[in-house]
Amino acid sequence: MKVEEVLREVQKGTVSIEDAAAILNKEGYSEMEYAKLDTGRKARTGFAEVVYCRGKADNHLVSIYKRIYEKEGTVFGTRADSRQFELVREVIPEAVFDPVSGILKAGPSISEPEGKIAVCTAGTSDIPVAEEAAQTAEYFGTRVERVYDVGVSGMHRLLSRAEQISDANCIVAVAGMEGALPSVLGGLVSCPVIAVPTSVGYGANFHGLSALLTMINSCANGIAVVNIDNGYGAGYLATQINRLAVHGPVGQKK
C-alpha cells in the first residue's frame, strides 16, 4: 500500500494511527513469541486477521484473543469448541459462541451490512459449514440471505426460493453427497457461485471427495470451488465479490 493510500485510510477513519505507523514502518505485526499477529492486514486487504482455533494450545489461544480484542475492539475465530469458549470468556466476558458453526467472537462486526449474498445448502446436515460461511460474511459487513435444505432430491424447494436467490451479488452453495447443488444454481442465476463441498455423505462420499470432484467438473458456468468444509473461505470470497458489486473497484464508488 502506498503512503498516500495509507494516509487516506487514516483520514477516513478506516485505519488507526497505530496500524498506519506499522505499515509505514514495514512491520505490520505484533510479536507474541509463538504468534505474529498481522496488525496491518485490515489496512492491506480490508479484512482483519481471523483466528483459527482448532489445535491451538489453551494459553496461546486465550492470549491471542485478548491481544486482538484489546487492540481492535473486536475479534473473530473459527473452528472453536465449547471448552475454548469458556477459556476465552474468562478474559473477554463479552465473547459469544455458536456451537453449530464453531464461530467464537467478541465485539461488533467490522462494518454495517450491505449488498447481499445468498448462502444455500443441499441439506440440513450441511448447515454447520454454511453457517461458518454466513457468519464470516456477516462479520465482514455483508447482508446474508439463508436458504437451507434445497437440494436436488426436491427441486421444487429450490425453485420456490429462486426470486430471493437471483438478486444476490454472489451465491455460496454448500453440499455434500454428490454435490450437485452448485451446478443447478449455476444454470439458474447470473451471479458467481462459490461451491463448498462438505464431508456429509455415506461411504463412497469419501469424506467430501465425491462432492469436490463433482463441483470441480461442473458443466455450469460461473462456479468456483473452495476446499472441503471450508465455509470460512467461501464467506470471505463472497464478501470480496459483494464489496466489488456494491462499491466497484478499490478507490471507486458506484
Residue type at 202?
Y
Q: SS3 for 199?
A: coil
Considering the domain boundaries, does residue 142 fall inside one? yes
Predicted TM-score (pTM) of the model is 0.85
Residue 208's pLDDT is what? Answer: 95
CATH number at residue 120: 3.40.50.1970
Residue positions counted in the chain = 254
Q: Is residue 182 part of a domain?
A: yes
**Number of structural domains, the chain?**
1
Cα separation of the two ends of the chain: 22
Using DSSP bridges, classify how beta strands 75-78 and 103-106 pair: parallel, antiparallel or unpaired: antiparallel
Residue numbers in the chain where pLDDT is lower than 50: 254
Assigned domain for 48 exists:
no
Identify whether 77 is part of a domain: no
Residue 138 lies in a domain: yes
In terms of residue numbers, what domain contains 235? 114-247
Look at residue 154 and tell me if it is in a domain: yes
Q: Is 23 contained in some domain?
A: no
CA 81 to chain centre: 18
Amino acid at 10: V
Convert the pLDDT of each residue in 62-114 to its tens digit.
Answer: 999 998 898 888 899 999 999 999 999 999 999 999 999 999 999 887 778 89
pLDDT value of position 120: 96
Within-domain flag for 105: no
Joined together, the cell numbers standing for residue 187 give 444454470
The answer to whether the Cα torsion of 231, 234, 239, 245 is positive or negative is negative
pLDDT in the model for residue 102 = 95
